[in-house]
Amino acid sequence: MSERLHIPDHNKLFQEDKYVRQRERKREFEAPCSEQEVQETLEYSRSKEYKDKNFARSAVVVNPAKACQPLGAIMAALGFEKTLPFIHGSQGCTAYFRSHLSRHFKEPVPAVSTSMTEDAAVFGGMSNLIDGVENSIALYKPQMIAVCTTCMAEVIGDDLSAFLGNARQAGALPEDMPVPFANTPSFSGSHITGYDVMLRSVLETLFNQSTEVAQSGTSGKVNVLLGFDSYTGNFAGIKRILAMFGADYTILGDHSSNFDSGATGEYTYYYGGTPLAEVPKSANAQGTLALQKFSLRKSLSYMKNTWGQQIVAMSTPLGIVATDDLLDEISRLTGRAVPEMLIQERARVVDAMTDSHAYLHGKRLALVGDPDLLLGLITFCLELGMEPVHIICSNGDAKFKKEAEQLLQVSPYGAEATVHVGQDLWHLRSLLFDDPVDLAIGSSHVKYAAKEAGIPLYEWASRSSTGITCIVIPSSATRER
């Protein structure tokens, strides 16, 4: 090519004059309010009076800090070897789940859909599911298919168990192929709910299809569950820690390879994942260590009640105290002492926290995230002498709120904190104007509220390989001030 291919930066593209003029002409055509009226309304939306009205609303949600159940179910499915996520619903929903995960991980996400349309909404989607299963097996050669649902299938009441039974009778689905399934309506719960119900179904299906008999403590292994963890480096981190202990372990639901594969020039549908044969054997493990508990409730309940497992469940282990607890539990389950290397790394982290104390002490902040991550962040920020003020958890519940408030009450740095459960990012916007803070920590969805409030947003990036501390980076939307 004589000329280099020029791909404009999408962050700057629509700031070019032609696009600015296009928006101005569109605004004139639509007969908008005057600039004065717009400014007056904007200022009113930042007032205490508007905040009270905002928090009084109950019939509408504006920009919640959560996603829907099938997205979590897809992540759970991709944690197992050669497993194909199968969404019983419309193509549009499936495209959203795939694109959402691909935008975050920068990796292709394999998933198929039954492509339900108007006729399936009236007559049911059984034929779509049977044809879809048969085609998926022929094209993608999975060892397991994990089926979840979208709103359409749930509203019309499609019976997955009956449909899959009919698929086996029709010969579309081999008798020996495991097909865990979960009902994941998007109008209830969130992504962590979908992750949990799909993971439980995978564990139950593979165990029931095996000849294993649950004999907890006979294998000497340790089961490890990371839950809905969107940071693939955390898997490498916990594997490193367990290897330093010399522990024999099985990670149940290891999606790190699928969401962080290398560029070899060849694409495959499946990367890594927990071997299917290892799942039934996990019923004989010494115990189960869960690094999240709110995203694993049903899975841990199944492992405890059916497998008789010893369960150690904690929220995301961030900071010195939480990581000490993690290492102590690994030491207890494995019967091995904490490695000297980790003790030295702990000392360096304490030194780093001391060195940064002058910059972080007394900083007021807003936190947004899932329940387990927020509990870890609260603990970590209190250790640093930072003061959480606004804590937003769109998919939290009363149990999370109680636990978060207990953490805050034992520290003087948590005295001004308020935990908001079920609130959304439009509530956060009102809070940032009514009671300003120094910074916010959350996902990139928080960037609009943070930018308007004039505070930096730090996006959660990763824990270090030790699991002891964290790395946060300023959002591009609020980096330059």
Catalytic sites, residue numbers: 151, 155
* Distance between first and last Cα of the chain: 40
Three-class SS state of 247: coil
Asked whether 253 and 224 are in contact (CB, 8 A), the reply is no
Q: For the CA atoms of the chain, what is the radius of gyration?
A: 24
Instruction: For the chain, give the number of residues.
Output: 481
Three-class SS state of 251: strand
Single-letter code of the amino acid located at 8: P
Asked whether 288 and 223 are in contact (CB, 8 A), the reply is yes
- Among 392, 393, 386, 396, smallest CA distance to 365 is for 386
**Alpha carbon distances (Å) from 23 to 16, 56, 218, 306:** 11, 34, 68, 60
Report d(CA 246, CA 252) in Å as an integer. Answer: 18
Asked whether 348 and 405 are in contact (CB, 8 A), the reply is no
Asked whether 366 and 441 are in contact (CB, 8 A), the reply is yes
Start-end of H helices in 170-275: 191-208, 233-245
Asked whether 206 and 186 are in contact (CB, 8 A), the reply is no
Report d(CA 125, CA 150) in Å as an integer. Answer: 12
Single-letter code of the amino acid located at 243: A
Report d(CA 53, CA 311) in Å as an integer. Answer: 44
SS in 3 state form for 283-339? HHCCEEEECCCCCCHHHHHHHHHCCCCCEEECCCCCHHHHHHHHHHHHHHHHCCCCC
77: CB partners within 8 A, 6+ apart: 83, 84, 85, 146, 148, 198, 202
**β-sheet bridge partners, residue 366:** 390, 440
Report d(CA 49, CA 361) in Å as an integer. Answer: 32
Exposure class string for 93-116: b at 16+ Cβ within 10 A, else e = bbebbbebbeeebeeebbbbbbbb
